[in-house]
Amino acid sequence: MPDSTKEGRRVAQTGRALGPRALRTRQRLLDATEQLLVERGVLDLSVVDIARTADTSPATFYHYFKDVEEAALHLAEQAAREMPALIELIDGSWDGAAGLDTARRVVNAFVDHWSAHHAVLLIRNLSADKGDRRFQRVRRDSLSPVLDRLAARIAEAQTAGRVSAALHPFAAAAALASMLESISAHTRELEQREVGREQLVETCARVIHQVMTGEGRP
Amino acid sequence: MPDSTKEGRRVAQTGRALGPRALRTRQRLLDATEQLLVERGVLDLSVVDIARTADTSPATFYHYFKDVEEAALHLAEQAAREMPALIELIDGSWDGAAGLDTARRVVNAFVDHWSAHHAVLLIRNLSADKGDRRFQRVRRDSLSPVLDRLAARIAEAQTAGRVSAALHPFAAAAALASMLESISAHTRELEQREVGREQLVETCARVIHQVMTGEGRP
DNA sequence: TGTACATCAGTGAACGCGCGTTCACTGATGTAC
DNA sequence: TGTACATCAGTGAACGCGCGTTCACTGATGTAC
């Protein structure tokens, strides 16, 4: 496995450190990859197109990346670094009216993150589901802390007798996160029907709040 | 648009009706498409491979389908026809302990459907998200009745004062369905962690039950 | 400040390959009488 | 039952194209003295 897949290292395929010009070129290639991912979707992505879009040649692409997947992996890592600070939000108060606000903030942060990186997160999830370990790692690193904190809060609520012990805390956390991921992914489509973003956020926030606290009856 | 995209019609690209032998060949091509979709994922799917897998020639493929997308669309339509009778389940009782059983049945039906058609439903959703009207239609036709019934039940519970009026019924239904879709899609991965299918089903059932009825406190 | 040299960065041009697609043809099946 | 003919179904072979990939080379930048 080439060094350049290791997060944070900035090296060419040869293993050399990169100067400022090279870093700019590399970033231009990554930007082009993302642009094509957004414009044409996950299915039609080629080295030649990426190089063309970045105003450079395929040979240059191969200086920096082994293949298209590796460029996508780097984009996924960049997106992960911009993951919002969900942990702090989740560690906020879940009591009473403040709890609902906390839930809203969590949902908003999640949806924002997804609209900013829709195409990249999509190919990350696809490749991870397909079995690619590198993408699985990026997703896990990004999501695990959130799931663990959510699960911990649910477990606390169970101990306090507010939430049914029949919920599996981690499974519930995963279910809520899945809901947020795919809600974010389908936002546009839902807007074609009568549902606007505010209603979606509010409704998801209430679902999450209810699961996390057991509250929710009128 | 060629006639063969219309559901139920069985015609070649030329518009002719198909005899029994032709129908078998066509189905063999569809089976090969699904097999490759399962084995290699959504990203590497080609006419040549499909023909090879079906023990026939690319030229034959073009007798029946305009391109790979059209074959995938037919698979999505076939999967839709095997959609379980969720409506009946949703129209069952949501009161007391029976309600929890209803929720479990809904979750199980959903998860079964997804494990049976994972790869096809995935490409359906991807293509629909990408903006392809034909795939959007198939997904909508398949999901809308379910969402509508779910939303109706939630609205009833709101009228009866059991569920908060702040939930948008249709948004809540979409959120729950999204949760089920992506939970089903990630089943394998969750099993790598400590979470087994039974726990997942039970937990999702309780989340749904709670949202639909307002019940769930210990 | 200028010159020589080493390294960094980028690319033109070519190669092979496999895919998408089509055409003209062959073989299979059904039907008429 | 047999023969002639029409239609159905399938495919070998070829074409062009664009992609992935690499190599040998050029130009840019930095450094030593």
Look at residue A213 and tell me whether its pLDDT is greater than 50: yes
- Kindly compute the dihedral angle of the four CA atoms of residues A30, A32, A34, A35, in this order, to the nearest 10 degrees: 160
Please say whether the beta carbons of A172 and A151 come within 8 A: yes
Distance from the Cα of B149 to chain A's closest Cα (Å) equals: 16
Tell me the range of A10-14, B84-88, B184-188 where mean pLDDT is highest. B84-88
B105-118 mean pLDDT: 96
Q: Is B41 in Cβ contact with A43 (below 8 Å)? A: no
Q: Confirm if A157 and A214 have CB atoms less than 8 A apart.
A: yes
Residue A15: the pLDDT is 66
pLDDT confidence of residue B7? 32
Q: Are residues B149 and B202 in the same domain?
A: yes
Give the residue numbers spanning the domain of B196.
82-213
**What pLDDT was estimated at residue B10?**
60
Average pLDDT, chain A: 91
Question: Is the minimum CB–CB distance between B83 and chain A shorter than 8 Å?
Answer: no
How many residue contacts between A and B have a Cβ separation below 8 Å?
157
Residue B53 has pLDDT above 60, yes or no: yes
Q: Does B199 touch chain A (CB under 8 A)?
A: yes
More confident residue, A110 or B8: A110
Percent of chain A scoring above 90 in pLDDT: 78
Q: Are residues B120 and B206 in the same domain?
A: yes
* Residue A183 belongs to some domain of the structure: yes
Cβ of residue A199 closer than 8 Å to a chain B Cβ: yes
For residues A71-93, give the mean pLDDT: 96
pLDDT > 60? residue B218: yes
| pLDDT tens profile A153-171 | 999 999 999 999 999 999 9
Q: Domain for residue A218, yes or no?
A: no
Of the residues A78, A113, A132, which one is the last residue of a structural domain? A78
Same domain? A194 vs A147:
yes
A162 in contact with B, Cβ within 8 Å: yes
CB contact (8 A) between residue B130 and residue A168: no
Query: What is residue B122's predicted lDDT score, i.e. its pLDDT?
Result: 94
User: Do A150 and A166 fall into the same domain?
Assistant: yes
In a domain, B218, yes or no: no
B51 and B115 inside one domain: no
Over residues A120-141, the mean pLDDT reads: 93
Rounded mean pLDDT, A71-95: 96
Per-residue pLDDT tens for B149-163?
A: 999 999 999 999 999
CATH label of the domain that carries residue B26: 1.10.357.10
User: For chain D, which bases have at least one atom within 7 A of a protein Cβ?
Assistant: 8-14, 18-24, 29-30
Together in a domain, B42 and B130: no
Q: How confident is the model at residue A143 (pLDDT cuts 50, 70, 90)?
A: very high
- Mean pLDDT of all residues in chain B? 91
| pLDDT tens per residue, range A174-197 | 999 999 998 888 777 778 777 889
A167/B203 Cβ within 8 A: yes
Among A45, A186, A192, A199, most B C-beta atoms within 10 A, so best to mutate, is A186
Strand D at less than 7 A from CB of B63:
yes
Q: Nearest chain B Cα to A148, which residue?
A: B193
For residue A12, pLDDT beyond 60: yes
Is any atom of nucleic acid chain D found less than 7 Å from the CB of residue B57? Answer: yes
**pLDDT value for B15:** 66
pLDDT at A13: 76
> Is 90 exceeded by the pLDDT of residue A6?
no
pLDDT of residue B5: 34
CB contact B93 to A (< 8 Å): no
Q: Return the higher-pLDDT residue of A8 and B175.
A: B175
Render pLDDT for A14-51 as a digit per residue (tens, 0 to 9): 666 788 899 999 999 999 999 999 999 998 999 999 99
CA angle at residue B126 from B124 to B129, to 5 degrees?
105
Q: Is the domain of B92 the same as that of B54?
A: no
**pLDDT attached to residue A5:** 34
Cβ of A189 and B129 within 8 Å? yes
Candidates B39, B40, B43, B130: best to mutate against A (most CBs of A within 10 A) is: B43
**Domain co-membership, B40 together with B94:** no
CB contact under 8 A, B42 and A126: yes
Task: Say yes or no: B130 and B204 in one domain.
Answer: yes
Query: Which of B5 and B103 is assigned the larger pLDDT?
Result: B103
Work out how many domains chain B is built from and give that number: 2
CATH number reported for the structural domain that contains residue B141 in this entry? 1.10.357
Please say which residue of A54, A78, A102 terminates a domain: A78
In the structure, what pLDDT confidence band is assigned to residue B216 with cuts at 50, 70 and 90? confident
Among B31, B57, B78, the domain-final residue is B78
The predicted model gives A207-215 an average pLDDT of 94
Nearest to B175 among A136, A179, A217 (CB): A179
Contact A193 B204 (CB under 8 A): no
Q: Which chain B residue shows the shortest CA-CA distance from A171?
A: B200
Could you tell me if A132 lies within 8 Å of chain B, comparing CB atoms? no
Pair (B192, B107) in one structural domain: yes
B84 pLDDT band (50/70/90 cuts)?
very high
Nearest CB to B217 within list A43, A130, A164: A164
pLDDT band at B188 (very low <50, low <70, confident <90, very high): confident
Give B206 CA → C28 C1' in Å. Answer: 59
Q: Quick one: B112 and B179 in the same domain?
A: yes
Same domain for A163 and A74? no
pLDDT exceeds cutoff 80 at B69: yes
> Per-residue DSSP letters for chain A?
--GGGSTT--B-TT--B--HHHHHHHHHHHHHHHHHHHHH-SS---HHHHHHHTTS-HHHHHHH-SSHHHHHHHHHHHHHHT---HHHHHTS--SHHHHHHHHHHHHHHHHHHHHHHHHHHHHHHHHHHHT-HHHHHHHHHHHHHHHHHHHHHHHHHHHTTSS-TTS-HHHHHHHHHHHHHHHHHTHHHHHHTT--HHHHHHHHHHHHHHHHHS----
Distance A48 CA to D18 C1' (A): 9
pLDDT (average), residues A133-143: 95
